[in-house]
Chains A and B, each alone.
Chain A
Amino acid sequence: MEDMTQYPLELTGDVPMVRFCNVTKSYGALVVLASLNLDIQAGEMVSIIGPSGSGKTTVLRMLMTLEKINGGVIYLDGKPMTHMPKNGVLVPATEKYIRSVKGDIGMCFQHFNLFPHMTALQNCIEAPVQVLGMSKKDAIERAEEMLDMVGLADKKDQHPIRLSGGQQQRVAIARALCMRPKVMLLDEVTSALDPEVIGEVTAVIKKLVAEHSLTMLMVTHQMGFARDISDRVCFFYDGKIEEMGTPDELFDSPQRERTQQFLSAVKSAD
């Protein structure tokens, strides 16, 4: 058993928006992430790159509570979210506690995961009405504003099946933003898109970074895009952060051999 007294009940001082503290994740004998330590500051845009199976997506899924962690603690805005304080120590969080803290996180998926039986607008108002208890009128107002922001105000009454992949992903971004998250997770949001529509999604993300003070964590295979908009880039290899730095540091002068190999492989594929 892990000694939970080593973890503070709450972070104090200069609190990062997200802190992974000794986080491990394994499926049986397969270790996906071994003791991950990573801080993400408020308003920071962090990209995660790396080869398939290196645990990139798992990082996001753990933060979104889609995966249970096997060790360590994740803090959100200073408060533990995988655990909760009880009698002066951290114990595994209950469903109810997790629901009360994870509302500050939004996520967009590789395959959009829009609700196919609802129009774009209905997709956007579902959670604000059901979770935040907003009135339908207020929720629609907010949703229209967000759909306008992603450039799809005229498609609000269309079902996802009638939208292109790029349009669907933009609706998914608007849907996540309607919940006013502090942290936004983007899991390979352009990987399932046709090349000609990738630009419309990246443009929306760039706009988000420029105009909002969102904290963002993005898994991507588009090196150029990661370089353009990130404050920091993490290179994952074999369940560990192999190298981390500013985009210029990491892409121009990678220090580790694995990073060099990966970047040159990606470059030659382009």
Chain B
Amino acid sequence: MMDGSATPPASAAAAPGGVRIDGAQVADRAYRWVTTAFALVVPLLLCLIAWEVFAAGWPALSKFGLGFFTESDWDAVNGRFGAAPAIFGTIVSSVIALIIATPLSLGIAIFLSEFAPRWVRQPIAFLVDLLAAIPSVVYGLWGVLVLVPLLRSFVMPFFKDTLHLGDFALFSGPAYGPSMLAAGVILAIMVLPYISAVTREVLLAVPRSQREAALALGATRWEMIWDAVLPYARSGIIGGVVLGLGRALGETMAVTMVIGNRPEISASLFAPGYTMASLIANEFSEATSDLHVSALMAVGAALFIVTVIVNAIARWLVWRTARTAA
């Protein structure tokens, strides 16, 4: 009963008979045990996931050591596994996504929380939220049948022929369509609602007085946002972006369908690549040797660690803003 919530000495004082007090106390204790047990499922489940994935990945990790993460040779037939191309692809596709999505999300959040009149705010916020509801595989389908052909026949020729950037490593090589760029664009659309939702929430948490003070000093609306609101919300906004990064790193189906799935490191945005998640999704059901399965599990374990770290940082940043605003 020492749990800090408002606790009148309830059942014991009010109940008339001793037997009922005991019965109620036993039931109360049972109730507490049951909810505690349910709550313990969460940590246990997480430990179980970590254990299963790490144990299964251990044979590959112990065979290849650190080279597993630095070697770029992924050859299932000859039993050589280096995950560097997938790690590279995961980072690059996520960074492309953030470069596209961050300014857009920030713009949306600022527009919705500071500029837009009420009747604009609700429908647009609703539409952006809907982006988060679309299943990954639907993004993938749209990506592979609409976006990729669009990139291949318009965007890539535009960079190569119209802007003559084909000599730069970033835009070199043949334009197949499925590419790092396609993955980055799809990921940008997918993480945009998450970043903008967190940013909007953080902006709304900035106290009114902060805004009023800036306006009273004669600031324009934008000056108020730039000088008074954004600095206040900065760490929360960064938290939102990091949260989006966490989503982008682990996103699987849509990326698998548009990235081209080739374990090579290339400087070109137009070249196909691989991410850690798409490597698992694409090869797992075809993995025949135990070592191949174990290597894929090790990639999963690495993904596990990276997303946990990234999410923890994001939570901490958002929590810090929420606390100073409170």
Q: Do A and B bind each other?
A: no
